[in-house]
């Protein structure tokens, strides 16, 4: 019986199962991110990666640079969809920068400009391969963390219009591909 079951569990079934588990892990990370940001209008009954307008809202009447509500996935990576971009601009979010962003293994871009987020940049982000970070126009405070210098993939970092204290740390000089600060 056990052998029949094993051989019956085809590669195809296993692929479906691992894709399903991966999606669950992604959705759980997104739920944590929503709690940390205090974002209340993501509909978790919808697939964040199928292009529906709840997760990726057309700009409509909102004037472009100030508002954005976008989650982009790259589904060509290894047969499963990975969240690569999150842009939630001008949404009156009043939580903190989400430590759980680091639970999305392929995240490249986070734009949380023009909200009311407080605290500082979470240490968890050090382990990501982020290329683009903008947290412009929030209520972030404390000194700009030196571990940012360890996110070697970073190309663009937007920190202006917050209440950070002190200087830009020398460690950011380590970032060879950083072109915008």
CB of 116 to ligand NAG, least distance (A): 18
CB of 69 to ligand NAG, least distance (A): 5
Site map 128..157 versus ligand NAG, x via CB under 6 A: ------------------xx--x-------
For residue 134, the cross-strand partners are 111, 158
CB of 38 to ligand NAG, least distance (A): 14
Q: Are 156 and 180 in contact (CB under 8 A)?
A: yes
| CA distance linking residue 36 with residue 93, whole number of Å | 10
Q: Which residue from 41, 58, 92, 165 is in contact with ligand NAG, where contact means CB under 6 A?
A: 41
| CA distance linking residue 45 with residue 39, whole number of Å | 15
Is residue 57 a contact residue for ligand NAG (CB under 6 A)? yes
Task: Order across the sheet with 118-119: list the strands.
Answer: 118-119, 139-143, 163-165
| CA distance linking residue 37 with residue 142, whole number of Å | 18
Is residue 30 a contact residue for ligand NAG (CB under 6 A)? no
| CA distance linking residue 140 with residue 120, whole number of Å | 5
CB of 118 to ligand NAG, least distance (A): 22
**Count of residues touching ligand NAG (by CB under 6 A):** 17
CB of 148 to ligand NAG, least distance (A): 8
Q: Are 172 and 149 in contact (CB under 8 A)?
A: yes
* List of residues contacting ligand NAG (CB under 6 A): 41, 43, 53-54, 57, 69, 72, 74, 76-77, 84-85, 109, 146-147, 150, 171
């Amino acid at each position: 019986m056990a052998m029949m079951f094993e051989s019956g569990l085809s590669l195809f079934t296993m692929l479906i199962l691992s894709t399903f588990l991966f999606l669950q892990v992604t959705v759980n990370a997104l739920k944590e991110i929503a709690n940390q940001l205090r974002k209340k209008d993501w509909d978790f009954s919808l697939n964040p990666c199928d292009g529906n307008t709840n997760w990726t809202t057309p700009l409509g009447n909102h004037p472009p640079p100030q508002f954005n509500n976008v989650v982009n996935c790259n589904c060509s990576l290894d047969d499963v969809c990975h969240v690569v971009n999150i842009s939630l601009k001008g949404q009156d979010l009043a939580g903190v920068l989400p430590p759980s962003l680091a639970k999305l293994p392929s995240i490249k871009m986070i734009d949380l400009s023009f909200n009311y987020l407080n605290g500082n940049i979470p240490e968890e982000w050090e382990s990501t391969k982020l290329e683009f970070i903008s947290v412009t126009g929030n209520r972030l405070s404390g000194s700009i963390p030196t571990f940012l210098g360890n996110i070697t993939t970073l190309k663009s970092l937007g920190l202006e219009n917050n209440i950070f204290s002190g200087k830009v740390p020398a460690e950011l000089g380590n970032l060879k591909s950083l072109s915008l600060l």
